[in-house]
Amino acid sequence: MSAGFQGELRVDRLWQEMNLTFPHQIFYDYCFINNSGFTHQIDTLFVTPHFLCLIEIKNILGKLDFDDVKRQCIFRTTSDGKIDSLIYPVGQLFRHQSYFQILLKQLNIELPIVKVIVIANPSTIIGQLSTECPIMHSVGLPYFLWQQLQHFGQQSLEKSDFQKLLKHLKSIRQDKSWEQKLMEDEWRSGVLCPKCPMRRACFIGMALGFVEAAV
Give me the average pLDDT of each 10-residue run along the chain (215 residues): 59 83 94 93 96 94 90 78 85 96 96 96 91 95 95 94 97 75 64 62 50 44
Instruction: Check: pTM over 0.85? Answer yes or no.
Output: no
The per-residue pLDDT for 92 is 95
Q: Which of 103, 131, 9 is nearest to 47 (CA)?
A: 103
**pLDDT the model gives residue 189:** 66
What b-and-e string marks burial along 69-85, b requiring 16 or more CB atoms within 10 Å of the CB? Answer: eeeebbbbeeeeeeeee
Q: Supply the pLDDT for residue 110.
A: 96
At 211 the pLDDT is 46
- pLDDT value of position 214: 44
The whole-number pLDDT of residue 197 equals: 59
